A and B are shown apart, each in its own frame.
Chain A
């Protein structure tokens, strides 16, 4: 085979790899100007994004399509154990990852250029993204876990890349410890599954279901894997690290962690757990006995997943209720959002998967945007406490409106992407009937609960009088004063453009979700039908 025909499908990955190498090379050559480095990252992610969208069959970009259509969602030959496979859902996730990376990269173009370490930041950013792309095409458990590790290691370093900030370092330390622990758990689980099946290929696992000599190994293996992956998805009670990390890391990094890397966990869950859930539901309950009893693996996993999902949503929201710091509040809210996504996996039907994916997209936009706004506001010199945001909406109407949109979307208010995703997800839950309806109820009640703290922020921003001598005022009055290096009212054009873009997307996709929902749904259908 020619190189192009071999490498072609990996165009996005290669683009990012090239970007990483280029950036580090330039760093060695002491070329570390923000514009150059950032430019590279932005371009690389944008191109990669374009080609992914093209591969998804978006006609206008057909030229960029590099993956032959037949090899997407191709059912593997019997007994074949490929390391990777292109699934349309995987491509969708690649698109989401790249979108997140692009947004963050673009926004970071307007960090104070005084701040050093731009090359490291962008290099690691691209590296992490590369790992994420690999996750999205993995079809082997070990390959998947290693890809996740690439992301994890890159993100440990991202959190600490300033090397000076004690908060950042502490965050990195916690991140690392818990991350390493979860890695151990996942690999241990993987080893048990390997023991049970004699293979780590996900197709084979799914096909085999629980028809094995030691079903208990399957159970334990999946349990360990669950624990290991739950760390990434920040499910309760595996979530504790996330808050401190999001809080401690630099704002752009938090944006990427919350908006980007966390989602690989979701996709990993799709890959790993749709196996048992679907296969066993399909094959019927070939049981495993512990105390003599014999129970179906899939359904009891669904119960476990459901329980964790509800727990996650509720705890996340309740924790966020009284939170005083903006970033921590957002961190908790993103924990609860993970719970919604888990609902999709619990139900495991194509509609639910689609809904969860849409929810992921929504979350990418909302959370990335929210953290970027936090960064921007911090750049205006406003403190970290929610109460420091008093009257911001009146001082900076546009910024305030954008943030309000993101919060309303998080709260699931109609005409925002956040509502569209929840709507589809919960419709899927109700459509699945049975006890899944209660998942929908729990989810909806939770979103109602979440309204409490989102509305509180709105209240502070719009109804409370701004504090005297509000630094944000400077920006507003002089219209683009503030630190001279930053145009656009002190935000910097990168941030300004990104935030505006996100706000627009939130509304546009909220008003007409069909654009994204169509592809996502068909992808979900293919994904579910694969090998089941």
Chain B
């Protein structure tokens, strides 16, 4: 965490960039060391806590007080995530040195990036839900700044706002979820705990790390289900799951490095990680699991369809992220948190790779429109290769990383179908997505790199970036190839197994179900083949205007009109309501006040006109007063006294 603040402190320096890189490098080393330590002796280590807010015991809701604490927790999940975050973070930092060198406001960039990484690290190491939420929010705001880095661009600014708002919706759900869990665990909690009220929203109480659910599944089922759904909502917001996925593609407005970071290691990973730790430490009810599986499976397919038609290289990758996240969510929902994280791990590398590759393309020719590119293979061999590797990994072609993790997900979910037949449809969707994935990613590759010249001749002469940009590509490519094989490294596998045992179902890694793997690989190859058929060698496939698929294409291009709907709600509905309210406020509420004022003024005028200046009138008033006195004393007074008795 120091990283971020250090970075922030040094932001004014010219070489702040390098400082940040070095610090993140240091962080990476630490992170990896922690992970190794975890591998050698798996287990759960909670670290020093400092009390952040303490309410002393007092009669009322919290008889033994309330204290919210901060602390760290290291266990297989977090150490795995730690590796992902720090390594990818470091590489992206390094890459930025080259990629960003001609942008202004670099100090701000590095400061924000460092803070981003710092909060992500904090989130990973958090040992209680509140702390988790705290860093979760910080991650959100950092992404806000980074996406809006080119704030002169209105589109960037609005994309940033959109990202923040949509995730904010998720946050609110998340917070409410926390409260719901709180109301269950506040005082009772799992065995041996003083309850959350006394020691914060801690995941692990004392030595026991059994899911709270186990100890609290009594009468609370409905409450806990709702809570789980709310947590899911929060995760969906951050991890851009349906229906809160809209912000992620727009988030491409930020620098490509940022996109890489967001997609690979930080922002979106946070949501998945939330689901993972919740399922591990708190646990989901079966209903929740079904919901999660549903969301995951559906999103996988849903996002993939949108990627199929998109012309923007970065957005294609963005949609691929959403869909890959879907896989992870699916896995976690089915009870295989560790498998999900494993996919996250591999995905982090090849997704970062894809983005950085795309980045160097954009860096070279300054456009993101696939239909303008072409033939870059010749001039940018490294990039082309890297992108291809990433693509293969994504498409799940062995032996690339993606294959192993995705295959494990599919097989594990498949293994559950017997007991949970209602997983079937989502499993099939996810399966179908494999084909689409392979298709769209290679469509992008062919469009960009195959052929012999750019379709748009006005593009500048492409060239490879400086070494700082190539090194990460190479490193990441290497990871993308081998990361999948880590499971066979005993230590690493123990890591994966160690964490996962908690979810109740022991996961299986490596080739477990050959048939399944064969089918998926087949689908993948099929997709690639189709892509080659349609787009290979600079071919351009144009869908006939008359084709029955046109409406579908339009629907996909418009992203199922989701964004429009949200905009409508946001702008039209809410805003016009606000205007109406404003009107009401000014003219009705404030109007009443001013009305009183006017009323008195009018009365004043009336009365003043009685002041005629003719003394006889004054005399008349006196006499009238006398008579009214008689009335008061003889009639009104007696009446009132008789009525209310003596006053």
How big is chain A's contact interface, by range?
35 or more
Kindly state whether residue B636 has any CB partner on chain A within 8 Å: yes
How many Cβ-Cβ contacts under 8 Å join chain A to chain B?
A: 108
Contact between B637 and A177, CB atoms less than 8 A apart: no
Listed residue (B610, B611, B629, B647) with the most chain A CB atoms within 10 angstroms of its CB: B629
Chain B proximity of A442: nearest CB distance (Å): 15
Chain A proximity of B549: nearest CB distance (Å): 73
- Quick one: CB contact mask for B594-614 with A, threshold 8 Å, 1 for yes? 000000110111011011010
For B613, list chain A residues within 8 Å (CB): 244
Cα distance A449–B607 when bound, in Å?
A: 16
Kindly state whether residue A28 has any CB partner on chain B within 8 Å: no
For A230, list chain B residues within 8 Å (CB): 625
Cα distance A452–B600 when bound, in Å?
A: 11
Looking at the complex, which one of A178, A299, A303 makes contact with B632 (CB distance below 8 Å)? A303
For B618, list chain A residues within 8 Å (CB): 174, 177-178, 240-241
Q: Which stretch (B40-48, B76-84, B536-544, B638-646) binds chain A? A: B638-646
Chain B proximity of A329: nearest CB distance (Å): 11
Q: Which stretch (A141-149, A288-296, A384-392) binds chain B? A: A288-296
For B634, give the chain A residue with the smallest CB separation.
A290
For B638, list chain A residues within 8 Å (CB): 290, 293, 295, 300
Q: Which stretch (A112-120, A316-324, A354-362, A512-520) binds chain B? A: A316-324
If the complex has contacts A219-B634, A321-B601, are A237 and B624 also in contact, measured as CB distance less than 8 A?
yes
Kindly state whether residue B621 has any CB partner on chain A within 8 Å: yes
Interface residues of A in 294-313 (CB under 8 A from B): 295-296, 299-304, 307
* Chain A binding surface SS class: helix
Looking at the complex, which one of A227, A296, A322 makes contact with B601 (CB distance below 8 Å)? A322
Contact between B641 and A295, CB atoms less than 8 A apart: yes
For B626, give the chain A residue with the smallest CB separation.
A227
Cα distance A191–B604 when bound, in Å?
A: 39
Chain A proximity of B594: nearest CB distance (Å): 13
Cα distance A434–B641 when bound, in Å?
A: 13
Cα distance A304–B632 when bound, in Å?
A: 6
- Quick one: CB contact mask for A260-290 with B, threshold 8 Å, 1 for yes? 0000000000000000000000000100001
Cα distance A315–B601 when bound, in Å?
A: 12
Looking at the complex, which one of A236, A241, A301, A318 makes contact with B604 (CB distance below 8 Å)? A318
Kindly state whether residue A243 has any CB partner on chain B within 8 Å: yes
Contact between A302 and B629, CB atoms less than 8 A apart: no
Kindly state whether residue B630 has any CB partner on chain A within 8 Å: yes
Contact between B633 and A231, CB atoms less than 8 A apart: no
For B617, list chain A residues within 8 Å (CB): 240
Kindly state whether residue A525 has any CB partner on chain B within 8 Å: no
Chain A proximity of B630: nearest CB distance (Å): 6
Contact between A303 and B625, CB atoms less than 8 A apart: no
If the complex has contacts A227-B629, A304-B637, A449-B600, are A182 and B642 also in contact, measured as CB distance less than 8 A?
no
For B617, give the chain A residue with the smallest CB separation.
A240
- Quick one: CB contact mask for B262-290 with A, threshold 8 Å, 1 for yes? 00000000000000000000000000000
Kindly state whether residue A185 has any CB partner on chain B within 8 Å: yes
Contact between A295 and B604, CB atoms less than 8 A apart: no
Looking at the complex, which one of A182, A285, A318 makes contact with B603 (CB distance below 8 Å)? A318
How big is chain B's contact interface, by range?
20 to 34
Looking at the complex, which one of A296, A320, A452 makes contact with B646 (CB distance below 8 Å)? A296
Interface residues of A in 439-466 (CB under 8 A from B): 449, 452
Contact between B647 and A434, CB atoms less than 8 A apart: yes
Kindly state whether residue B565 has any CB partner on chain A within 8 Å: no
Chain B proximity of A316: nearest CB distance (Å): 10
For A322, list chain B residues within 8 Å (CB): 601, 604-605, 608
Contact between A178 and B630, CB atoms less than 8 A apart: no
Contact between B611 and A237, CB atoms less than 8 A apart: no
Cα distance A236–B629 when bound, in Å?
A: 12
For B642, list chain A residues within 8 Å (CB): 293, 295
Kindly state whether residue A197 has any CB partner on chain B within 8 Å: no
Kindly state whether residue B619 has any CB partner on chain A within 8 Å: yes
Contact between B619 and A177, CB atoms less than 8 A apart: yes
For A304, list chain B residues within 8 Å (CB): 629, 632-633, 637
If the complex has contacts A295-B638, A300-B641, are A321 and B604 also in contact, measured as CB distance less than 8 A?
yes
If the complex has contacts A296-B641, A300-B641, are A238 and B605 also in contact, measured as CB distance less than 8 A?
no
- Quick one: CB contact mask for A47-69 with B, threshold 8 Å, 1 for yes? 00000000000000000000000
Kindly state whether residue B615 has any CB partner on chain A within 8 Å: yes
Looking at the complex, which one of B607, B621, B630, B641 makes contact with A303 (CB distance below 8 Å)? B641
Kindly state whether residue A224 has any CB partner on chain B within 8 Å: yes
For B640, list chain A residues within 8 Å (CB): 300, 303
Kindly state whether residue B581 has any CB partner on chain A within 8 Å: no
Contact between A240 and B600, CB atoms less than 8 A apart: no
Cα distance A416–B310 when bound, in Å?
A: 77
For A293, list chain B residues within 8 Å (CB): 638, 642
Contact between B641 and A299, CB atoms less than 8 A apart: yes
Kindly state whether residue A223 has any CB partner on chain B within 8 Å: yes
For A436, give the chain B residue with the smallest CB separation.
B647
Contact between B601 and A301, CB atoms less than 8 A apart: no
Cα distance A241–B607 when bound, in Å?
A: 14
For A180, give the chain B residue with the smallest CB separation.
B619
Kindly state whether residue B622 has any CB partner on chain A within 8 Å: yes
For B621, list chain A residues within 8 Å (CB): 237-238, 240
If the complex has contacts A173-B615, A300-B637, are A227 and B605 also in contact, measured as CB distance less than 8 A?
no
For A243, list chain B residues within 8 Å (CB): 611
- Quick one: CB contact mask for B423-458 with A, threshold 8 Å, 1 for yes? 000000000000000000000000000000000000
Contact between A178 and B622, CB atoms less than 8 A apart: yes
Looking at the complex, which one of B619, B626, B633, B644 makes contact with A301 (CB distance below 8 Å)? B633
Chain B proximity of A190: nearest CB distance (Å): 15
Contact between B615 and A177, CB atoms less than 8 A apart: yes
For B632, give the chain A residue with the smallest CB separation.
A304
Contact between A435 and B647, CB atoms less than 8 A apart: yes
For A320, list chain B residues within 8 Å (CB): 604
For B644, give the chain A residue with the smallest CB separation.
A435
Contact between B625 and A227, CB atoms less than 8 A apart: yes
For B615, list chain A residues within 8 Å (CB): 173-174, 177-178, 241
Chain B proximity of A175: nearest CB distance (Å): 9
If the complex has contacts A237-B622, A238-B621, A240-B621, are A315 and B607 also in contact, measured as CB distance less than 8 A?
yes
Kindly state whether residue A504 has any CB partner on chain B within 8 Å: no
Looking at the complex, which one of B605, B625, B633 makes contact with A219 (CB distance below 8 Å)? B633
Contact between B600 and A226, CB atoms less than 8 A apart: no
Contact between B624 and A240, CB atoms less than 8 A apart: no
For A300, give the chain B residue with the smallest CB separation.
B637
Chain A proximity of B608: nearest CB distance (Å): 6
For A227, list chain B residues within 8 Å (CB): 622, 625-626, 629
Kindly state whether residue A508 has any CB partner on chain B within 8 Å: no
Contact between B626 and A224, CB atoms less than 8 A apart: yes
For B629, list chain A residues within 8 Å (CB): 223, 226-227, 304
Contact between A303 and B636, CB atoms less than 8 A apart: yes
For A181, list chain B residues within 8 Å (CB): 619, 622
For A321, give the chain B residue with the smallest CB separation.
B604
Cα distance A323–B608 when bound, in Å?
A: 9
Cα distance A435–B640 when bound, in Å?
A: 12
> 9 A-B residue contacts at CB 8 Å?
A174-B618, A227-B625, A230-B625, A290-B634, A299-B641, A303-B647, A318-B603, A321-B600, A322-B601
Q: Nearest 10 pairs between A and B by C-beta?
A: A300-B637, A240-B618, A295-B638, A321-B604, A237-B625, A227-B626, A304-B632, A237-B621, A322-B604, A174-B615
